């Protein structure tokens, strides 16, 4: 006796063999497309290359586009983390400038310990000079002092800055500021 002799039973025979294949392709397709979308997003969110190539000059943001919640590491030539930029929003102004809103910067010492914490409402980073400028009140904090001013220019390479207008500094640990007298000869 033949099971699949009639046209109708032949159809069901093919369906029994073909259905598991179609279902496995359909189930696997969202996972594969989800992985490729995740890779694309990941590629846009973090700079490519080794840590020594990752710095603030190659921010992966096209001109005219805005990114929310952007976190950018800043590595030196030796691959050590020298800073971390967390922006509420970032937008590429042109090829050489990136604007930030609600920027929080943490700089690190050579020993990878947190050093400075900088809060800026609105700022612009010049990618060539790596100078971050803000014309709004900015606060810089370290373990031994807090300082704030109406505008700032901060060099991300040297970790030096210039505060202008209504500058207020509070020293919380003056032991670093006292000079020990040298023995007289």
pLDDT, position 13: 52
Who's near 120: CB < 8 A, 6+ residues apart?
100, 102, 103, 104, 105, 132, 134, 136, 138, 152
Q: Which residues contact 110 (CB under 8 A, 6 or more apart)?
A: 80
Among 72, 107, 103, which Cα is nearest to 89's?
103
pLDDT digit string, tens, across residues 20-40:
444 444 344 444 334 333 433
The domain locations on the chain are 8-45, 51-176
Residue 85 confidence (pLDDT): 92
Could you say which DSSP state residue 63 is in?
A: B
Q: Give which of 74, 90, 91 is closest to 82, Cα–Cα.
A: 74
CATH 2.60.450.10 fits 51-176, yes or no: yes
What band does 12 get if pLDDT is binned at 50, 70 and 90? very low
Q: Give the contacts of 11 (CB within 8 A, at least 6 positions apart).
A: none
Each residue's pLDDT tens digit, 49-84? 444 444 677 788 899 999 999 898 888 888 888 899
């Amino acid at each position: 006796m033949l099971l699949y002799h009639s046209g109708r039973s032949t159809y069901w025979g093919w369906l029994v063999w073909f259905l598991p294949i179609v279902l496995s392709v359909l189930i696997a397709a969202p996972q594969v497309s989800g992985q490729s979308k995740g890779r694309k997003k990941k590629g846009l969110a973090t700079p490519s290359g080794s840590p020594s190539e990752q710095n603030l000059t190659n921010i992966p943001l096209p001109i005219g586009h805005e990114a929310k919640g952007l976190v950018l590491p800043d590595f030196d030539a030796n691959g050590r983390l020298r800073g971390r930029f967390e922006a509420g929003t970032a937008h590429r102004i042109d090829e050489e400038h990136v604007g930030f809103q609600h920027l929080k910067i943490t700089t690190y010492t050579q020993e990878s310990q947190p050093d400075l914490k900088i809060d800026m409402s609105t700022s612009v980073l010049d990618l060539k000079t790596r100078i971050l400028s803000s014309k709004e009140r900015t606060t810089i904090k370290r373990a031994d002092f807090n300082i704030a001013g109406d505008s700032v220019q901060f060099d991300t390479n040297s970790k030096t800055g210039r505060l202008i207008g209504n500058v207020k500094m509070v020293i919380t640990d003056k032991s670093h500021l006292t000079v020990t007298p040298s023995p007289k000869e």
